[in-house]
Copies of this chain bind each other. A is one copy, B any other.
Amino acid sequence: MIESRNIGGQSRLTYGQIGGGPGSFIGPVHRAAIAMNNQARIVSGCFSQNLEKSKETARELDIDLNRVYSSYEEMAQKEALRKDRMDFVVVSGPNHMHYETAKSFLEKDFHVVCEKPLSLDLTQAKTLLKLSKERKRLFMVTYTYTGYPMVREARHLVRSGKLGEIRLVVAEYAQDWLAEKAEESGNRQAQWRTDPRYAGISCCVGDIGTHIENMVHYITGLEIKRLSARLDTFVKGRSLDDNAFILLTYENGASGSYWASQVAVGKENGLVVRIYGTKGAIEWEQENPNELRLSLLGAPQAILRRGNGYLSAPAKSLTRLPSGHPEGYFEAFSNLYRNFCVALTRFEETGTLEPRGEAEDFTDVLDGARGIGFVEDCVKSSRLEGAWVDATKISEG
């Protein structure tokens, strides 16, 4: 079932990390996700803006202290000069620094893995997109939820025409952690996510609305044509949105409705995607990720479950455990890295970036840029009192 993924002992990939020091949440998740595949090992880092803290983490990770740096600029600079320079960098520091950090490493020809959001505005995102093409570097943006096997199955079903032509998308991502004024109770994440200086122009759409946008695009390939958004701020004194209702039309004529909320009491991390075509429909819930519900016209609903022989190759290839042994968020995260490392290894052998096949599939800088465009469109529409606006198009090149 689970297999060792390395391409060979000595040639293993190496990486460095920005962020992920003491107290960080997502930083160690990146490392654990990579460790599960045994395809790459960490060799350098700037884990904190405080060098001592950074070294503390390095010691825990058995990293040579000579490769611990006091800033991302220094790290990019110095790692670039090493003969045994790392293969890629993981950018997991604060959101408002993603852009500058990623840019520095691209300019030194490192491959990049970057936390979402890619940047604070579209101009920055386009710069990174362009730079990665010029420098011919792999650039993954970690939309974690696309790493679930049953999301791959959903994508396979839609793309293979099982549902017919898509008519409707109804998706939501509901949480409740900002239902009260958490930013005033010492919750650090709440503080920066609700602060425009660090979070940019949107809290709710930027943080979780983009996951809806990405997931729907990932599964269906539908391009948004126009959208109308209503962003609300329900908690008094908060300056960014904590709830958003968005209506959409797609280029193929389908219609959609997205709901993102951080004030929906009782919801934990409720990303739910439902897609309806002329012949069938699917439903997937992130909190129950090993299942995918498939309805075909005139037939009973079928519950597809991870790990079974009746699934498609894409879903099977990302499965580590037999059916009935739950996989979760870590495994989804790890799957992104697995495909990234396969693509990177092949690139190092062949020198070609494209096309990436199923085994090298991951959300990349183009997805990241599209997400930034989506946030800007939503904010724009909402400021126009929900007027329908044309969707920003991001071209590949």
Give the B-binding residues of A (Cβ under 8 A).
1-4, 6, 8-10, 12, 22, 25, 28-29, 32, 35-36, 38, 57, 59-62, 163, 167-168, 170, 172, 175-176, 179-180, 228, 230, 232, 234, 243, 245, 247, 249, 255, 257, 259, 261, 263-270, 276-281, 286-290, 293-305, 307-310, 320-331, 385-386, 388
Which residues of B sit under 8 angstroms from A29, Cβ to Cβ?
2, 321
Given contacts A36-B32, A170-B259, A243-B168, contact A265 B296 (CB under 8 A): yes
Which residues of B sit under 8 angstroms from A324, Cβ to Cβ?
175, 267-270, 286-287
Which residues of B sit under 8 angstroms from A385, Cβ to Cβ?
388
Q: Which residue of B25, B243, B270 contacts A2 across the interface (Cβ within 8 Å)?
A: B25
Given contacts A62-B9, A255-B232, A257-B245, contact A295 B266 (CB under 8 A): yes
- Leading 4 A-B pairs by shortest Cβ distance: A266-B295, A269-B324, A268-B324, A326-B328
Instruction: Describe A's contact surface by its main secondary structure.
Output: loop
Whether A257 contacts B259 by the Cβ 8 Å rule is: yes
Given contacts A2-B25, A268-B305, contact A321 B329 (CB under 8 A): yes
Which residues of B sit under 8 angstroms from A287, Cβ to Cβ?
290, 324, 326
Which residues of B sit under 8 angstroms from A261, Cβ to Cβ?
168, 276
Given contacts A60-B4, A287-B326, A326-B287, contact A243 B266 (CB under 8 A): no
Whether A298 contacts B309 by the Cβ 8 Å rule is: yes
- Give the complex CA separation of A270 and B320 in angstroms: 18
Whether A302 contacts B302 by the Cβ 8 Å rule is: yes
Give the most central of A167, A279, A300, A309: most B CB within 10 Å. Answer: A300
Cross-chain pairs A/B with CB under 8 angstroms, 5 sampled:
A264-B276, A267-B295, A288-B326, A326-B328, A327-B330
Which residues of B sit under 8 angstroms from A234, Cβ to Cβ?
167-168
- Give the complex CA separation of A323 and B98 in angstroms: 26
Whether B279 contacts A265 by the Cβ 8 Å rule is: yes
CB distance from A181 to the nearest CB of B (A): 11
- Give the complex CA separation of A281 and B267 in angstroms: 9
Given contacts A268-B324, A298-B310, A303-B303, contact A263 B243 (CB under 8 A): no
